[in-house]
């Protein structure tokens, strides 16, 4: 998959999930087998806005050529996917043990993104970026 196709796909997912989280936080929280509250709804809305921003950035840079900025963006997005996947795994075990419900949404989405994000991050010469940051 080309980087442009991947970023287009990633932007569509981030925008759709972000808008749902921002506009319908209680529904998204219920799909994760949590008990919605005003505080949880507020946090979910904030996360939704952040996801919309990530989606817009991915859409805007999808045609850009290799650069230090693109390397940093792809590395940052890879770290986001790794972090979210870890949280989804923890949530999977916590929710499935407590309720018997299996929340599989992110459990399938994040691992699908790893190979492509990793390939584009490595292809973008991340070790060079790390040397410049450190």
Ranges of each domain in the chain = 3-127
| pLDDT for the residue numbered 91 | 75
Q: How far is CA 72 from the centre of its chain?
A: 16
Q: Which of 11-25, 26-40, 115-129 bottoms out in mean pLDDT, i.e. has the lowest?
A: 115-129
∠ CA 4-9-13, nearest 5°, is 145
**CA nearest to 58, candidates 42, 86, 32, 81:** 81
3-class secondary structure per residue, 110-123: HHHHHHHHHHHHHH
> Which tens digits make up the pLDDT trace of 33-53?
777 789 999 999 999 999 999
Please answer whether residues 94 and 33 qualify as being in contact, where contact means their C-beta atoms are separated by less than 8 angstroms. Answer: no
* Chain mean pLDDT for the chain: 78
> Which tens digits make up the pLDDT trace of 71-124?
888 888 888 888 888 887 887 777 666 555 555 555 555 555 555 555 555 555
């Amino acid at each position: 998959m080309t980087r442009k196709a991947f970023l287009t796909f990633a932007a569509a997912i981030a925008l759709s999930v972000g808008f749902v989280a921002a506009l319908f936080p209680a529904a998204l929280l219920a799909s994760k087998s949590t008990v919605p509250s005003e505080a949880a709804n507020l946090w979910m809305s904030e996360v939704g806005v952040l996801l919309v921003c990530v989606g817009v950035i991915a859409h805007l840079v999808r045609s850009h050529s290799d650069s230090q900025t693109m390397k940093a963006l792809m590395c940052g997005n890879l770290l986001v996917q790794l972090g979210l996947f870890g949280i989804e795994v923890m949530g999977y075990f916590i929710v499935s043990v407590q309720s018997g419900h299996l929340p599989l949404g992110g459990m399938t989405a994040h691992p699908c993104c790893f190979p492509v994000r990793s390939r584009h991050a490595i292809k973008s010469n991340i070790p060079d970026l790390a040397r410049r940051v450190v």
